[in-house]
Amino acid sequence: MPSDQTPIGSDETANIEVRRWGDQYIPKTAYLPHWEIGEKLGILSFERSVKLAQSRFVTLVGAGAALERALIQFMLDQQVAAGYIEVLPPILVNSTSLMATGQLPKFAEESFKCDQDDLWLSPTAEVPVTNLYRDEIINADALPIYHCAYTPCFRREAGSYGRDTRGLIRLHQFNKVELVKLVHPQTSAEEHQTLVQNAAAILEALRLPYRVVELCTGDLGFSAAKCYDLEVWLPSADCYREISSCSNFLDFQARRGNIRFKEAGQKGTQFVHTLNGSGLAVGRTMAAVLENYQQADGTVRIPEVLQPYLNREVL
C-alpha cells in the first residue's frame, strides 16, 4: 500500500516537484539531440545494431564505448566511497526471484524469457541483489546492508507504444548501476532520503541539471510505498527526463522473498525493509552528457570528473 505521506493523485500530473539543482548549468542554446551528436562523432551506431538484433539496440564505438565504461566505473567508485558494497550478480534470474521483487506476475510481458529454462534476462539489478538474501534470517547487527551493482538490463518496453524510438532513452538493452538497501524498519524513511542523495550526487558531480519529483499514488510503482524520481535536463527535449527512481518498498519485497532479521535477545523475527534506486541509468546519463556538454563546433566537452577515466577533455 502507498505510504501515508505519498501524495494522492490519478497520474503523473499530480506528482510534486521537491527541488531543482543546477539551473546555472542549463545550456543557453541547444544544438542537436544526443543521437545526432553521437552519429556525427561516430560513437553511436543504431542502424548497424538493427542488423545484429532489431530496433532499440545500440552499438557503442570507440570513444562512445570508452565513455560508457567511464560512466560505469565512476558511478561504482562514487557509491563504494559512499559505503555501498559492490556485487556483480548473475544476469539471468529465475521466476522466484522476479516474484519476490514484484516483477512477476504483473510485468511478465515486459521481460525477456529463456524458453528452455526457468530463467529471465534481468530487467534491473534490483532483482538479483535483493534476492541474495531471500529465505534468510539476518542478524540485526548486520543491518543496514548497502549494495551497488553494475549490470546490463533487458526490457521489452511492451507498453511504450512508439515513445522514444530514437536515441538512448528507451532501449531493450541498457547498462545501469543500481543501489539496493536492506534496513531496519525504524530507519527506512531516513535511509530513503539518503538513497536519493546518493543517486543525486552522481548528477551533481557531473554538473548535470536535475530535479527531484515525488510520485503520487496513481504513478507509483506496483511494489513501492513511496518513490522519488530524479529527472535530468535534456536540452533537445526542453524538459527533464527520468534517470533514476528511488523507491521504499517497506516490507513488501521482504514478505514475498521471506527476508527477515532477528534482534539479539528476542525470540521472534521481523521483515526487513528494502529500498533501491538507479545510481544511475548509464545510457540516459550519456545522453545527458552529450546534450548538455555539446559545443557549437560539434565537439563535446568531457565532464571534469570523467577526464581522468578517459584521458581526454573533448570528444
State yes or no: pLDDT of 268 exceeds 80: yes
Residue 160 confidence class, pLDDT cut points 50, 70, 90: low
Residue 257 confidence class, pLDDT cut points 50, 70, 90: very high
| Whole-number percent of the chain with pLDDT over 90 | 91
Domains of the chain and CATH, by start: 12-310 (3.30.930.10)
DSSP of 275-290 = EEEEEEEHHHHHHHHH
State yes or no: pLDDT of 163 exceeds 70: no
Mean pLDDT for the chain? 95
- Which CA distances in Å does 235 have to 150, 245, 293? 27, 21, 10
pLDDT of residue 159: 60
Average pLDDT over residues 140-166: 86
pLDDT of residue 157: 82
Active site includes 278? no
pLDDT of residue 162: 60
Active site includes 163? no
Tens digits of residue pLDDT in 198-227: 999 999 999 999 999 999 999 999 999 999
Average pLDDT over residues 174-202: 98
Active site includes 134? no
Question: Residue 261, Cβ neighbours under 10 Å: how many?
Answer: 24
Region class of 146: left (phi > 0), else alpha (psi between -120 and 50), else beta? beta
Could you tell me if 188 and 250 are in contact, meaning their C-beta atoms sit under 8 angstroms apart?
Answer: yes
State yes or no: pLDDT of 111 exceeds 60: yes
Q: Which of 110, 241, 242, 255 is catalytic?
A: 242
Q: Which of 111, 245, 247, 278 is catalytic?
A: 245
Q: Which of 170, 207, 241, 255 is catalytic?
A: 170
pLDDT of residue 67: 97
Q: Hey, which residues does 226 pair with through a beta bridge?
A: 248
HEC secondary structure over 37-71: HHHHHCCEECHHHHHHCCCCCCEECCHHHHHHHHH
| Whole-number percent of the chain with pLDDT over 70 | 98
Q: Number of C-alpha atoms within 13 angstroms, CB side, residue 28?
A: 1
Active site includes 56? no
State yes or no: pLDDT of 158 exceeds 90: no
What is the C-alpha to C-alpha distance for residues 228 and 216, in angstroms, rounded to an integer?
9
Average pLDDT over residues 222-251: 96
Tens digits of residue pLDDT in 294-308: 999 999 999 999 999
Question: What does pTM read for this prediction?
Answer: 0.95
Active site includes 284? yes
Average pLDDT over residues 66-91: 98
